[in-house]
Structure 1
Amino acid sequence: MKKKVVILTSVHRACDTRIFHQQARTLAEAGYAVTVVGRHPRAETVDGVSIHPIPHIRNRLSRMIVTPLRTGLVALRSGSRICHLHDPELLPIGLALALLGRRVVYDVHEDYPQQVLSKYYLHPLARRAASMIVAAVERIAGSILAAVITATGQIAARFPAHKTRVVRNYPRMTAETCGCNLPTDDTSGRFRLVHLAGTLSHVRGVTSLVDTMGLLDDSFELVLAGKWETPAYFHALRHMPGFARIRHVHHVPHPEVWQLYRRCHVGVICSLPLPRHLTALPVKLFEFMATGLPVVVSNFPLLRSIVDTHGCGLCVDPTDPKAIADAVRRLAQDRRLARTMGRNGMEAVRQYYNWNSEAAALLDLYSRLSESRCVRTSRYPVLSVTT
């Protein structure tokens, strides 16, 4: 009989890249019976993974109360021994599941206490209080839950080393995703930049990118994929000069992402220098590299260490639209350089930044959790950090 796993998310789509395409599919391919609970239009089985849809609640407060309860009930009814959480708002449910004998894994995508500090719709005092609460709940969860998975080594340092694993956001290597987009010398069409994000917001650098397009001529186009942070933010951007060179795509299903990349020439990631961005490794960076796109990225030490080491793009001040525009022009005018950087990025992903090694770390963790007896929190298996 297959070992059952339920993966829970109250914030992300069920078909999120990290949750579904990397982790759930890997576990299903390894023989686990995997159910993903999250936002999805219908109940179905995709690539051997069962998807249980949870209705999306637009009101933030209601979502943070109702959706975790719904996902927790699904987890209990699933009969799964291992429950894998992907959002901090699910931690109270995760702690309850642990007390009921489930093996609970907390997957940390970002530095969430720092993320809360960037939620500018909250009063500054409320932000600080919320950040402290999130940090405290994560500390409790780290001491009680069976295991913690983090997207970077920097985030892992905040959790108990003996039960924490780093599973990075590296792309799967397939014929479809790797090396499909080496730039050509064809200059007849527009030079397209591409930026993808779950939410298109000021802190993700979208304002700077629209300003950048105002400094470029009509031979350039920026493809923005994702949902706008708020209608007010979208309407504010519409009145900026650079918006005329923007093409917006609300949502791109994962299989179609690679087709979008084929129609573009450079990938841009210009998130603003907030503490949570300094420790993040965006999966889109490695997707751009895998498909042969040169990149223009924020000049943060972690990103620079990758881009400069492998010569796969240019690092810029994300708050300086002129610097971003100059980098884009350089790649547009020197197609040989762009092509070389694209090849360098593709080779770096093939050698270092692909999902194979991360899948091995994930499966090793699950093997240990599956083999251990279902006992109380003080006797969880010892795990080592993989950095």
Structure 2
Amino acid sequence: MKTKIGHLTCVHTWNDTRIYLKQCTSLYRAGFDVSLIACTDEVDFPPEGAKIVPVRPSRNRAVRMLTAPFRVIRAALRGNCDLYHFHDPELIPAGVVLKLLGKRVVYDSHEVVPDQILGKYWIPKFLRRPVSRAAALLEKIGVWFFDGVVAATPSIADHFPQGKTATVQNFPILDELAQPHPSPFRERPPRVLYVGAVSSLRGVTEVVQAMSHLPEDLDAEFTIAGGFRPQSLLTELESHEGWKRVDFRGWCSREQVAECMGQSRVGVVTFLPAPNHIAAQPNKLFEYMSAALPVVASDFPLWRAIVEEAGCGLLVDPEDPQQIAEAIRWLIENPEEAEAMGLRGRRAIEDRYRWDREFETLQNFYAKLLNKAEQGREPLVCQSGGDDSGDRRAA
């Protein structure tokens, strides 16, 4: 009988890259019986792969935080899984309930939650620090109950007990975003690309300002493939001089993201120095590298180590639009060197920063928690090429 794994989220979309595309799809291909319980109005899901169990969402954030965990846990219990793996701090109380009912429970920490809360625009500033402290306490209590913690980066793992924590990093599926026949690099338009959620803390305002510092004859364009949080930021940026050089695509599927990358010359990831960014490992940095795009990245110590070791881009002060503009201009005006940087970044992904190796860690962690080794079974490993082929239906 197949081992039944239930993944739970009330915050992320059902087709979230880390949860669905990487973890659930990889587990399904490795032979697990996988269900993903997620809050969504959608009813049209892929006919094959992990089973999507939709739960009615709430549009109001406060209502969602109070009621969604109950709906998710009801659906989870109906699944009667061997192991439950949840992805939101809002579900920590639900995870404790599952554990008290005798289930095996894993908490997946995508962020350093207390630090993340300090940058939440929707929480009044005077409340952010006490809410952050409360979240830290909630995590500490919850982790005492749980069987294990999966951390998205080593710096996140440092916040949890070493003996019950596994680090499963968000590295790319090798060929998901690398088009088989991309436009030749030096024939591409001078397009600068940003992929992902757009917020003030992610430095997009400074990049838009940087576009106004570029010479007109450079004909550079800034493509944004992602949604704004909050939406008012879009209205604000539309008034900037640099916005006339922006191609705003809005939310894009993974296929559309791959197409954008295959037609761009520079990938930007210039997060501002918020507490939750300094030691972060942003997905988009590694995704640009996987598509052989040279990067312009924030000059944080960890990011500097990654970019300089790979030789894959330029580092800037993310709060300095002029410096960002100079880096973009150099990469566009020096296509031979820029292309070489992109290729070095791709080699670094192939050699080190790849999802299939992280998936091995996840499987072995599951095997440990499920006592597979004690039953004489070897820890499962991903099949060669199995989970790294990607599922381009997911976003």
| Residues 220, 245 of structure 2: 8 Å contact kept | yes
Secondary structure of the 1:297 match is: strand
Offset at 1:183?
5.5
The correspondence of residues 132-171 of structure 1 with structure 2, limited to 5 A, is 132-171=133-172
Amino acid at match of 2:144: S
Any stretches of 5+ residues in structure 1 without a counterpart?
374-387
Any stretches of 5+ residues in structure 2 without a counterpart?
374-395
Per the alignment, residue 196 of structure 1 pairs with 195
Offset at 1:33?
0.7
Secondary structure of the 1:349 match is: helix
Secondary structure of the 1:289 match is: helix
Q: Distance in 1 between matches of 2:170 and 2:212?
A: 32
1:225 aligns with 2:221: no
Amino acid at match of 1:51: I
Secondary structure of the 1:57 match is: coil
Secondary structure of the 1:267 match is: strand
Offset at 1:184?
2.3
1:372/1:137 CA distance change after superposition, 3 Å: farther
| Residues 2, 31 of structure 2: 8 Å contact kept | yes
Secondary structure of the 2:51 match is: strand
Offset at 1:236?
1.1
The correspondence of residues 168-247 of structure 1 with structure 2, limited to 5 A, is 168-174=169-175, 177=178, 181=182, 184-186=185-187, 189=189, 191-197=190-196, 199-218=197-216, 219-247=219-247
| Residues 267, 296 of structure 2: 8 Å contact kept | yes
| Residues 6, 79 of structure 2: 8 Å contact kept | yes
Could you tell which deviates more after superposition, 325-334 or 227-236?
227-236
| 1:334-378 deviation digits (Å, cap 9, x = unpaired) | 0011110011000000000011210110000111222369xxxxx
Q: Distance in 2 between matches of 1:285 and 1:46?
A: 31
Offset at 1:250?
2.1
1:340 aligns with 2:340: yes
Amino acid at match of 1:200: V
Per the alignment, residue 305 of structure 2 pairs with 305
Amino acid at match of 2:208: V
Q: Distance in 2 between matches of 1:16 and 1:121?
A: 22
Please report the TM-score for the alignment, with normalisation by the length of structure 1: 0.91
Offset at 1:161?
0.5
Q: Distance in 2 between matches of 1:224 and 1:14?
A: 23
Offset at 1:174?
2.8
1:28/1:261 CA distance change after superposition, 3 Å: same
Offset at 1:45?
4.0
Amino acid at match of 1:359: F
| 1:319-340 deviation digits (Å, cap 9, x = unpaired) | 0011110000000000011110
Per the alignment, residue 294 of structure 1 pairs with 294
Q: Distance in 1 between matches of 2:148 and 2:7?
A: 14
1:94/1:284 CA distance change after superposition, 3 Å: same
1:253 aligns with 2:277: no
Q: Distance in 1 between matches of 2:47 and 2:240?
A: 41
Offset at 1:105?
0.6
Offset at 1:316?
0.5
| Residues 183, 293 of structure 1: 8 Å contact kept | no
Could you tell which deviates more after superposition, 6-15 or 156-165?
6-15
Q: CA RMSD in A?
A: 1.8
Offset at 1:132?
0.5
Q: Distance in 2 between matches of 1:226 and 1:275?
A: 23
* Count of aligned positions: 370
| 1:242-267 deviation digits (Å, cap 9, x = unpaired) | 11111222211223321121111111
Amino acid at match of 1:311: G
Q: Distance in 1 between matches of 2:61 and 2:176?
A: 40
Per the alignment, residue 381 of structure 1 pairs with none
Amino acid at match of 2:77: L
Q: Distance in 2 between matches of 1:230 and 1:123?
A: 14
Q: Distance in 2 between matches of 1:150 and 1:265?
A: 32
Amino acid at match of 1:195: Y
1:78 aligns with 2:76: no
Amino acid at match of 1:203: L
| Residues 331, 337 of structure 1: 8 Å contact kept | yes
The correspondence of residues 11-26 of structure 1 with structure 2, limited to 5 A, is 11-26=11-26
1:169/1:295 CA distance change after superposition, 3 Å: same
Could you tell which deviates more after superposition, 169-178 or 240-249?
169-178
| Residues 175, 290 of structure 2: 8 Å contact kept | no
| Residues 194, 268 of structure 2: 8 Å contact kept | yes
Offset at 1:178?
7.0
Percent identity for Structure 1 against Structure 2: 37
Secondary structure of the 1:51 match is: strand
Q: Distance in 2 between matches of 1:95 and 1:158?
A: 19
Per the alignment, residue 4 of structure 1 pairs with 4
Per the alignment, residue 278 of structure 2 pairs with 278
| Residues 118, 275 of structure 2: 8 Å contact kept | no
Secondary structure of the 2:12 match is: strand
Q: Distance in 1 between matches of 2:56 and 2:321?
A: 39
Secondary structure of the 2:28 match is: helix
| Residues 206, 321 of structure 2: 8 Å contact kept | yes
Offset at 1:131?
0.1
Secondary structure of the 1:193 match is: strand
Q: Distance in 2 between matches of 1:284 and 1:39?
A: 25
| Residues 118, 132 of structure 2: 8 Å contact kept | yes
Amino acid at match of 2:192: L
